Structure 1
Amino acid sequence: MSEQRFNQFVDEVEAAFDQAVMDGSDHELFISSYLSGHFSLMVARALNSAEYCLEKLDSAMQQSLTQAFANRELESADQAQVQALWQKMLSK
């Protein structure tokens, strides 16, 4: 994946997070904000290491979420919604 395409993906995901702020229910905002925190951290790490690879970003996101869920940061229903939102972002 090119740097340009990677940056475009990041911009699209961030726009979706912004849209949730404007239009989402309180719960959708919670799920989106939670995912956004992980996303921002993993994107920053990818950019710092010049890794413009969506597969590696997805892997880093999955590892980050798995670790957070293992620490019981969210209830299982919320975990499923966070995972579903991430998969939706990837499929765009």
Structure 2
Amino acid sequence: MSESVNSDEAKQRFDEFVDSTQMYLDGVVVDGSDQELFIASYLTGHFSLVTSNALALDDYSLKAIDTYMQTSLEKAYANNEVEGQDQTQVSALWNTLFAKATP
């Protein structure tokens, strides 16, 4: 029974994190500068892919989401999808959003 409760709690934290992160990213479209919009839009693509993969795997661990996201971004950076300051800003935004989800 406790495993089910833990699983339910993990799923709830996962859902709350996904919802709040998506709300923030969507808000940038309304209120952000052109650069902020670019960074948020770029991160949204990775975030959508990572969260859909986590859902497909029934993996609701926030730590796993962070690991998947870091791996996804590292691959993108290695392929020069974004460079320099844009990389720094994408990573900083992800780290800020993720930090809000973890105590």
Q: Same fold by TM (over 0.5)?
A: yes
Q: Which amino acid aligns with 1:19?
A: G
The corresponding residue for 2:12 is 4
1:68 is displaced (CA, Å) by 0.3
The corresponding residue for 1:43 is 51
The one-character-per-residue Cα deviations of 1:33-60 (angstroms, maximum 9, x if unpaired) are: 0000000000000001100001111001
1:75 is displaced (CA, Å) by 1.7
| 1:21 is aligned to 2:3 | no
1:84 is displaced (CA, Å) by 0.2
User: For structure 2, which runs of at least 5 residues remain unmatched after alignment?
Assistant: 1-8
Q: Distance in 2 between matches of 1:21 and 1:13?
A: 13
Q: Distance in 2 between matches of 1:64 and 1:48?
A: 16
1:91 is displaced (CA, Å) by 1.2
The corresponding residue for 1:71 is 79
Provide the alpha-carbon RMSD of the alignment.
Answer: 0.8
Q: Distance in 2 between matches of 1:7 and 1:19?
A: 18
1:76 is displaced (CA, Å) by 1.1
Structure 1 segments, 4+ long, off by >2 Å, are none
The structure, 1 or 2, with the larger RCO (C-alpha pairs under 8 Å, 6+ apart) is 1
Aligned-pair identity (%): 50
Which of 1 and 2 has greater Rg? 2
Q: What TM-score, normalized by structure 2, do the two folds share?
A: 0.87
The one-character-per-residue Cα deviations of 1:12-67 (angstroms, maximum 9, x if unpaired) are: 00000011001000110000000000000000000011000011110010000000
User: For structure 1, which runs of at least 5 residues remain unmatched after alignment?
Assistant: none
